[in-house]
Amino acid sequence: MKAGDDYDYIIRIIQFLDQQFAIRFFISSKDFDVLYRWWEKRIPFRVVSQSLRRVVARRQDKKKPITSFAAFSHDVRLDYQSYLSLNIGRVQGGEKDEHDAITAFMRRLPAALDFMKRDFERLAADAMKHEKVDFGPLHEKLLDHFRDDAELDAQCACFMQNLAPVLRRPEIERKYRLNYILHRFSIPSFD
């Protein structure tokens, strides 16, 4: 695990709820702990997102609002147990899928990212050759370029306002900004 992966994971889940279902609520320290435990257990995002979709649908049918990540814990645990039992002894072969995502991204590089075309081409070439990819400078360049983006600023302000004050740290805001940009342009991981 790389430094900062925990915040990436947590923010990705929070953003998923917001972007897919327009569900926002105050993120307490308890909520943060729930998400952090999922990260510590290395529960894949696709397992978590499947659980979130099901719980949201069930809650919407019953007209019950979602005000905490505790509402998802039971389903995430059950889905993760099923995932583990289904994947015992199975060889993970996601390499083709990863390369397909990179190739597709490069083919449809958004115009807003033209200023980084050479950077992305270099990263894609390294990833295809299975060389170590350093995404750090690219992340910094993205953050710098979109520093004064009104849409990003508004989304970030809303996100930070919904966090418990103890969680409103610069590193969490930075991760939110970066994840928002990566998601907004569907930038693959390249690693």
Q: Where are the domains of the chain?
A: 5-87, 95-184
Count the neighbouring beta carbons within 10 Å of the beta carbon of residue 56.
17
Q: What's the pTM?
A: 0.64
- Residue 14: what pLDDT? 93
Per the prediction, the chain carries an average pLDDT of 85
Q: Is the pLDDT of residue 189 over 60?
A: yes
Cα 51 to Cα 9, 47, 121: the distances in Å are 15, 6, 35
- CA 186 to CA 191: how far, in whole Å? 15
